Amino acid sequence: MGTLRDLQYALQEKIEELRQRDALIDELELELDQKDELIQKLQNELDKYRSVIKPATQQVVKQTELHEHQRTKRQAISAEPTAFDIHDLSHVTLPFYPKSPQSKDLIKEAILDNDFMKNLELSQIQEIVDCMYPVEYGKDSCIIKEGDVGSLVYVMEDGRVEVTKESVKLCTMGPGKVFGELAILYNCTRTATVKM
């Protein structure tokens, strides 16, 4: 049998070993949390791209089927509106809605965080910020319905919304997120449903 001193030394070694293991566990838990955040971020990115690609591929399949049935008929699609003169737009005065500096910053940051809008020029982003106005929705409200024609872009100031496509949940979004931009940017119907 060891002496009391030997037993105390062995106990201290075990305590130090447990501390090192606890530190290692803490490091691994932190790394796991970071990886979970990265997975969530990548999942959100993937959901965004799927929401654009799936309607586009469905449209290509439908066009291919139509093309097979009507081979002699040619079609053209243009995303550019042709019913107006570009010079007329220089005289358009955009509406301005006053808002707090915090709201302005939230909108600007949300736009800059959005993959589809972050490459706009700063002057365009400022015009969007100035034109936005507050809208409130109650619990269980449908803000955007998949398939509808859209003319508004939204930025969440507070609360949470659920995004679904064909009744399948894609994600949940909170404050500081832009949604509804695809219908505006690509002149298409709403690609998903967004509910409070």
What pLDDT, in 10s, does the model give residues 144-185?
999 999 888 999 999 999 999 999 999 999 999 999 988 888
- Provide the residue type at 171 as one letter: C
Residue 107 has a CB neighbour count (10 Å cut-off) of 23
Determine the pLDDT at residue 104.
Answer: 93
Q: Where are the alpha helices (DSSP H) in 122-185?
A: 122-131, 181-185
pLDDT at 76 exceeding the cut of 80: no
**Which range has the top average pLDDT, 39-53, 101-115, 179-193?**
101-115
**pLDDT tens digits for 3-50?**
888 888 888 998 999 899 999 999 999 998 899 888 888 887 777 767
Provide the residue ranges of all domains of the chain, joining segments of one domain with +: 8-54, 88-195
What value does the mean pLDDT of the chain take? 81
Give the residues across from 193 on adjacent strands: 164
Q: For domain 88-195, which architecture applies? A: Sandwich (2.60)
Compare 79 and 138 and report the one with higher pLDDT: 138
Distance between the two ends of the chain, CA-based, in angstroms?
A: 70
Residue 63: CB atoms within 10 A of its CB come to 12
